[in-house]
Structure 1
Amino acid sequence: MKVAVYGASGMVGSRIVAEAVARGHEVIGVTRSGAELPVGVQGVQASANDVASVKEIVGDADVVAVALGPSRTGGDHQEYLDAVDNLIAAAQGTETRLLVVGGAGGLSIGGQRVVDGPEFPAEYKAESLTVAKVLDTLQASDESLNWTMLHPSYVIAPGERTGTFRLGLDEPVGDHISAEDFAVAVLDEFEKPAHNRRRFTLGY
């Protein structure tokens, strides 16, 4: 399987790259910076905001992991939204599978989004609302788009690859997940699709 990973040098993207390589897949790691990637990865310096390169990369991949996120430093979130729109447009009507990394804020408890709850940290609210817009866009897409959004638990951080975690759909599961096990779930979904055109989540 040919796996393209946008944000391949980030905390989540780098773990997805490592997991895909370990499983013997052909991996294209896409970064803006041209960062050094592990041996066996085809590194591509490109931006998801560049329509031409997105069409080429998505068109050449079987599956695409979108491990990007909106700015946390006050930058314009529209750039992130435009990037995801480009990826969606490139995958629409093709056989390429698109998996977008979501956030815990977009999950719901009793019908209320986590991000709208009174205890949700204010410093993450803008970011979570922006990522939630992407979920709305994916859910509104027509049947020709093969998409999945995977939401981590409340806390995701570097840790241990255990291969043992719980899955859920719309409501949070547990309170944390390692980036390594998040990557395991991404590759599991790529290899044995179980959540076509819907979101799911995981945690311990």
Structure 2
Amino acid sequence: MHIAIVGATGNVGKRITAEALARGHHVTAISRNPDNSGDNEQLRSVHGDAHKPMALAQSLAGHGAVVSAVMFLQSDPAQLVDAVRASGVKRYLAVGGAGSLEVAPGRLNIDEPDFPAFAKAEAARGKAFLDYLREVRDLDWTFLSPSSIFTAGKRTGVFRLGKDALLTGADGKSWISYEDYAVALLDEIERPQHIRERFTVGY
């Protein structure tokens, strides 16, 4: 498959790119500062700006799926969705956040007293992004939320999937590595199970 990744040079974007390439897909890595040093027949790095939807749409055209892995504070859901629409691509996946997950029925993670203050602005924008997507009917979108702790680690391929509830392990820790998150995202691209839905991944 040909996959376009917006924000491909970020922490998550790099892992998604690597996982896609390892599975034999062709990747267009889109970022404001593209790195062409590792380009090969499967990888093409191009410049793109999430705030310039019409120009971005030209880079997205012709792909089987688009992934956005950009910070919520550095993007606008309407502009990204407009770019995907204009490109003609129907499959759109967004790297989500954990703030909008429920810790109990009707209680969001972002509203918990121990939710990190430094992460609240990004998390609030992530919730707004998801709310926006839930009104989109003309794209086959998916929003994949990580667990609370989202960090570099190992690719194990062993994790759990959920829907709208925060996943917590037996040790009380809620986390997922960038590497295993990328596995879950590519699994969803290859075998769609969550069309116009949010789901989550954790250990």
TM-score by length of 1: 0.90
Distance 2:122 2:18 in 1: 26
2-structure distance, mates of 1:95, 1:8: 18
**2: CA distance, partners of 1:99 / 1:91:** 10
In the alignment, the residues of structure 2 paired with residue 107 and residue 37 of structure 1 have an alpha-carbon distance, to the nearest angstrom, of 38
- Runs of 4 or more, structure 1, over 6 Å off, are none
Which letter does structure 2 place at the counterpart of 1:58?
L
Displacement after TM superposition at 1:156 (Å): 1.0
Q: Secondary structure at the match of 2:161?
A: strand
* Amino acid of the structure 2 residue aligned with 1:96: K
Aligned counterparts of 1:59 and 1:139: Cα–Cα separation in 2: 23
Structure 1 residues 6-15 or 103-112, which shifts more? 103-112
Q: Does residue 165 of the first structure (1) align with residue 159 of the second (2)?
A: yes
The answer to whether the Cα contact below 8 Å between 1:106 and 1:113 also exists between their aligned partners in 2 is yes
Contact 1:58 1:87 in 2 (8 A): no
Shift of 1:35: 2.5
Partner of 2:78: 85
Q: How does 1:1-204 map to 2 (within 5 A)?
A: 1-36=1-36, 38-40=38-40, 41-70=43-72, 77=73, 79-81=74-76, 84-92=77-85, 94-109=88-103, 110-141=105-136, 143-174=137-168, 175-204=174-203
Listed as ranges, the gaps of 5+ residues in structure 2 are 169-173
Q: Which amino acid aligns with 2:67?
A: A
**What fraction of aligned residue pairs are identical, expressed as a percent?**
40
* Matched position secondary structure for 1:106: coil
Cα distance in 2 between the residues matched to 1:154 and 1:16: 19
Equivalent-residue separation in structure 2 for 1:139 and 1:57 (angstroms): 25
Q: Deviations for 1:76-128, whole angstroms, at most 9, x for unmatched residues? A: x4x512xx322212334844211111111011121111101222111111110
When the two chains are superposed, the root-mean-square deviation of aligned CA atoms in Å is 1.5
Which is further off, 121-130 or 53-62?
53-62
Count of residue pairs brought into register by the alignment: 194
- How far did 1:37 drift? 5.6
Letter in 2 for 1:68: V
* TM score, norm. by length of structure 2: 0.90
